[in-house]
Chains A and B, each alone.
Chain A
């Protein structure tokens, strides 16, 4: 698979993942571009891996976890001066969803990453552990803490059906 083929097939998914990790479309695009530029330089090796997508997603998660990746524009192409729109403000009917989204964004980086990888990417704990470079037990611990925090804040009942 060439680099261009990979970006063509997986680029949109990476952007969407980055949107959820960063909470900011502008930064999501910068982050994804930065990670892909780095992946381009070592593409021959990445493409030879069993699961290149796991590797690239790990790069994305780690890049976002860095404070100054989230809060600086390390890569400044001249054409990135152009402003890109973000989704509009939420209307009144979506206040509850807005509140939940804010709570998710407020979670520690790795807890938020676990939720995104589990719920949005629908990955199993073993794959999430590979991406986060930790054990599946640690993944479950992050998930439990994140869910407990969300339940407490949104007032959801302490039902036990959630994946631990």
Chain B
């Protein structure tokens, strides 16, 4: 073993150490897992209820293996959370060169009568939506204006890597079935419009969910990424590098995250987290942003600045080691320019 080997060994052991609350980890993992299982069952249950109410066949032609719990009003009388329309921006079909360029805008949408948004985001030149297609499984759809962008962009939490499948020749509409320890995963690559590269992935035995998702795509519209949060100003020399919104448990939970960067791999984040069950007394600030109370604190080597005053929610800028390059003044600029709408009323997210 060389000196470098030994030093790597030592630093990894040093950095990995620390107490672990194994009991708490188990409890939280089981609690979240059970919540998701209940939600899946609820989605399936509501789908079956609608089918029964409408006499099954009246819902629509559908596809083999997929129920159609979605009406125009959504599975439970609510349209769910939908990103706000951006009328001034083109859709992917007419301007494929704009896909993934502005992390604040998605250049496509989906038909909410066919699928339900679970989340969406833009990062690394790829625009992504996660969709519930009605069978409880999550279909992830990625759009880019090149096959290379999709090769570099993986799909979250899959036990296999699908990026390398995205060769130029692969975008012909075929579905590829992968297997991860005996579990099937369906991956489809296609070009829904000239210059537009699409990939859809679902962990399932059939590709029916991919077909539903593909048919639900709307490439003639653009939507704003930030959900209830709009960023109106950035620190000097900084740019928006990514945006991510999770509405999978809307209206109880809504999370938004923006990534802000400067040249040289320096970054900071702005996160918004709304939880209907969050409570507690109003927190005291120790500083101000544009006359509004804020709280600055350190979390290990990270700095956090929270703009106070959002019921059941936190709006926090985070910066610091290991990717330095931003400071409290930058965080105040970012937070001071953030506009937050009612997280439970998507119609107010314009």
**Which chain A residues have a beta carbon within 8 Å of chain B's beta carbons?**
3-4, 7-8, 11-12, 15-17, 19-20, 23-26, 29, 32-42, 45-46, 49, 55, 58-59, 62-63, 65-69, 71-79, 81, 83-89, 97, 100-102, 104-106, 115-116, 119-120, 132-134, 147, 150-151, 154, 156-157, 159, 161-163
Contact = CB atoms under 8 A, between A and B. Distances in A.
Contacts, number: 212
A29 B1 CA distance: 32
A161 B18 contact: no
Nearest to A71: B259
A73 B255 contact: yes
Interface string B8-39: 11111111111010100110111111101100
Interface in B258-277: 259, 265, 269, 271, 273, 275, 277
Interface in B239-282: 242, 244, 246, 253, 255, 257, 259, 265, 269, 271, 273, 275, 277-278
Contacts of A58: 159, 180
B157 A49 contact: no
Contacts of B278: 78, 81
13 contacts: A4-B30, A25-B300, A26-B300, A32-B25, A35-B157, A45-B183, A68-B123, A71-B269, A78-B275, A86-B299, A100-B8, A106-B322, A156-B3
A68 B302 contact: no
B290 interface: no
Contacts of A62: 154, 156-161
Say what secondary structure dominates the interface of chain A.
helix
Contact of A104 (B8, B183, B299): B8
Given A11-B22, A40-B32, A100-B8, 4 more contacts: A32-B25, A33-B29, A55-B180, A55-B181
Contacts of B236: none
A11 B20 contact: yes
A77 B302 contact: no
A116 B12 contact: yes
Give the residue among B157, B183, B322 with the most A Cβ atoms within 10 A: B157
A141 to B, nearest CB: 14
Contacts of A77: 28, 31-32
The 10 closest A-B pairs by CB, nearest first: A86-B300, A40-B33, A36-B29, A37-B32, A72-B257, A16-B16, A12-B20, A66-B156, A120-B12, A161-B2
A23 B2 CA distance: 24
A37 B29 contact: yes
A101 B9 CA distance: 11
A132 B180 CA distance: 12
Given A15-B20, A66-B156, A76 B255 contact: yes
Contacts of B1: 161-162
A41 B31 CA distance: 11
Interface string B301-320: 11000000000001000000
Nearest to A94: B14
B20 A119 contact: no
Contacts of B156: 62-63, 66, 68-69
Contacts of B300: 25-26, 85-88
B121 interface: yes
Contact of A100 (B7, B28, B314): B7
B22 A7 contact: yes
Contacts of A85: 299-300
A162 B2 contact: yes
B20 A16 contact: yes
A4 B242 CA distance: 36
Contacts of B322: 23, 102, 105-106
B25 A33 contact: yes
B124 interface: yes
A72 to B, nearest CB: 4
Contacts of A69: 156-157
